[in-house]
């Protein structure tokens, strides 16, 4: 079974819940036809300040109460849920073990012996899981089984468990947000199935951006950058002598356009754009530089795999011309991915561009549940 196939090993019905410092998104999908889906239920609510910060749940009780209220008021009818932990709170490693290890011994080898070698914290303080990716021949002619191992500190996973218990919901899937995005972008990723073609998934969320480099559908490298829609929005507000806002206003993000004609003066405050456009451009230029550093680091560590595509998701993907900006700045083709289009998802209601782009993670979680 490939990694992409293993990402779809869920059931037939359930709810996806995306938790971030700005808000909670909940979705229930239902199958429509052979390959399409329909949003049966969707709800979103802004979180009070401090409940979730920098990827960590500080107040699982209050978070659980918000989720329960969303569930009840919007009449969700399924109690089984999938949710995700930001990549900054996890450790992912591709490891290889001898193929002759018996299946009954493999789990102990990976979860205990191998995990202890790679974790930056004690093994007893971590929750660890893994996915088998298949076997291949090493350079020394030995057949080895490739494993993707993921670990999270127990203190982090415990807060998610507690929040769902308060919400009176059954959490049967807790994964990494990058896995959800890979699931959402799977059709785009299928276009790049060669081991020599890498794709950078750029998820621009509220307070940060998660960069994940994927080869043949498998995550190889991940990094979190402290630039998100909050920093972009507030840079614009400051340039207009307006007070900053804690929560991202999706309508404001939708109205932003990257002034490509001023790219030659990016970060210098020059060009013909307005002060607000110049401020946004400076922040996005910093993000582009961080993306370049991530790609350069990956390619310097990996032989024979070049990043040939950038897929942009998250609420920040609603900024107009952002794909052209990254394409010109990095010399790599970029694409802003509408998750509803990517997954052939329909709905009885219309969603704005910002709302649609914000659904990338939650739709991937909902898809895990609907199977």
Q: What is the pLDDT of residues 242-255, one digit of tens each?
A: 999 988 899 999 99
Eight-class DSSP state of 216: T
The answer as to whether 42 is a domain residue is yes
Q: Are residues 114 and 66 in the same domain?
A: no
Angle, CA 32 vertex, CA 345 and CA 3 arms, to 5°: 70
Q: Assess whether 127 and 162 both reside in one domain.
A: no
Burial class (CB in 10 A: 0-12, 13-18, 19+), 6: middle
Is the same domain home to 26 and 67? yes
Which residues, at least 6 apart from 225, have a Cβ–Cβ distance to it below 8 Å?
Answer: 208, 209, 210, 211, 287, 290, 291, 294
Within 13 Å of residue 27, how many CA atoms lie on the same side as its CB? 29
Measured between alpha carbons, how far is 287 from 360 in angstroms, rounded to an integer? 20
Do both 26 and 171 map to the same domain?
yes
Measure Cα distances from 77 to 10, 13, 81, 174, 362 in Å: 18, 10, 11, 20, 17
Q: What is the CATH number of the domain that holds 354?
A: 3.30.420.40
Contact criterion met (CB below 8 Å) for 209 and 227:
yes
Residue 111 CB: number of other CB atoms within 10 A?
A: 18
- pLDDT for 11: 52
User: Does 214 fall in a domain?
Assistant: no
Rounded to whole angstroms, the Cα distance separating 162 from 100 reads: 40
3-state secondary structure of 251: helix
Choose the final residue of a domain: 126, 153, 180: 153
Residue 137 lies in a domain: yes
331 and 296 Cβ atoms separated by less than 8 Å = no
Task: Tell whether 202 is covered by a domain.
Answer: no
Q: Are residues 176 and 58 in the same domain?
A: yes
Where residue 131 sits, what CATH number does that domain have? 3.30.1490.300
Q: Does 283 lie in the same domain as 137? A: no
Q: How many domains does the chain have?
A: 3
Rounded CA separation 327/365 (Å) = 29
Assigned domain for 198 exists: no
* DSSP code for 207: S
Task: Indicate if 76 and 27 belong to the same structural domain.
Answer: yes
140 and 69 in one domain?
no
Read off φ and ψ for residue 312, nearest 5 degrees. Answer: -105, 130
CATH number at residue 282: 3.30.420
Q: 48 and 122 share a domain?
A: no
Strand order in the sheet with 334-336: 218-225, 209-215, 197-204, 306-313, 334-336
Residue 218 lies in a domain: no
Question: Is 251 part of any domain?
Answer: yes
Residues 148 and 274 in one domain: no
Beta-strand relationship, 197-204 and 306-313 = parallel
Nearest to 299 by CA among 224, 221, 223: 221
My answer on whether 345 and 322 are in the same domain is: no
Q: Which of 136, 153, 170 is the last residue of a domain?
A: 153
State if pTM tops 0.75: yes
* Cα–Cα distance, 244 to 49 (Å, whole number): 14
Q: What local confidence, expressed as pLDDT, does residue 26 receive?
A: 96
Kindly list the averaged pLDDT for each block of 10 residues, start to end, along the chain of length 371: 42 83 93 83 94 92 97 92 92 88 88 87 90 81 87 94 96 92 92 82 95 91 94 95 90 90 47 82 96 95 87 96 96 96 92 95 91 66
Model pLDDT, residue 216: 85
Q: Report pLDDT digits (tens) over 301-347.
A: 887 778 999 999 999 999 999 999 999 999 999 999 999 999 999 99
Per-residue tokens: 174: 């807790």
**Looking at residue 282, what is its pLDDT?**
94
Domain boundary among 124, 153, 182: 153
Domain that holds residue 257: 229-334
Same domain assignment for residues 38 and 115? no
């Amino acid at each position: 079974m490939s990694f992409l196939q293993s990402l779809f090993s869920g059931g037939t019905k359930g709810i996806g819940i995306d938790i971030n410092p700005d808000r909670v998104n909940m979705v229930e999908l239902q199958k429509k036809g052979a390959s399409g889906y329909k949003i049966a239920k969707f709800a979103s609510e802004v979180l009070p300040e401090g409940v979730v910060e920098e990827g960590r749940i500080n107040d699982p009780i209050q978070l659980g109460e918000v989720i329960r209220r969303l569930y009840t008021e919007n009449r969700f009818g399924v109690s089984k849920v999938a949710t995700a932990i930001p990549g900054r709170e996890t450790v992912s490693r591709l490891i290889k073990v001898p193929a002759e290890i018996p299946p009954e011994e493999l789990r102990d080898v990976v979860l205990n012996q191998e995990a202890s070698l790679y974790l930056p914290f004690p093994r007893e303080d971590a929750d660890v899981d893994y996915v088998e990716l298949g076997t291949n021949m090493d350079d020394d002619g030995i057949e080895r089984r490739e494993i993707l191992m993921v670990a999270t500190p127990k203190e982090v996973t415990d807060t998610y468990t507690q929040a769902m218990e308060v919400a009176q919901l059954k959490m049967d899937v807790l994964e990494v947000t990058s896995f959800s995005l890979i699931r959402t972008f799977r059709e785009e990723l299928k276009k790049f199935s060669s081991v020599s073609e890498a794709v950078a998934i750029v998820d621009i969320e509220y307070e940060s951006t998660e960069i994940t480099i994927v080869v043949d559908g498998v995550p190889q490298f991940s990094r979190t950058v402290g630039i998100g829609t909050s920093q972009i929005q507030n840079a614009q507000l400051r340039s207009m002598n307006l007070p900053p806002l804690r929560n991202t206003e999706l309508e404001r993000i939708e109205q932003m356009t990257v002034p490509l004609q001023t790219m030659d003066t990016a970060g210098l405050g020059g060009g013909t754009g307005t002060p607000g456009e110049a401020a946004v451009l400076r922040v996005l230029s910093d993000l582009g530089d961080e993306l370049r550093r991530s790609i350069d680091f990956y390619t310097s560590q990996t032989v024979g795999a070049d990043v040939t595509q950038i897929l942009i998701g998250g609420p920040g993907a609603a900024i107009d011309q952002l794909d052209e900006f990254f394409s010109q700045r990095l010399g790599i083709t970029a694409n802003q991915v509408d998750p509803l289009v990517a997954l052939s998802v329909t709905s009885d209601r219309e969603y704005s561009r910002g709302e649609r782009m914000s659904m990338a993670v939650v739709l991937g979680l909902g898809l895990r549940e609907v199977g």
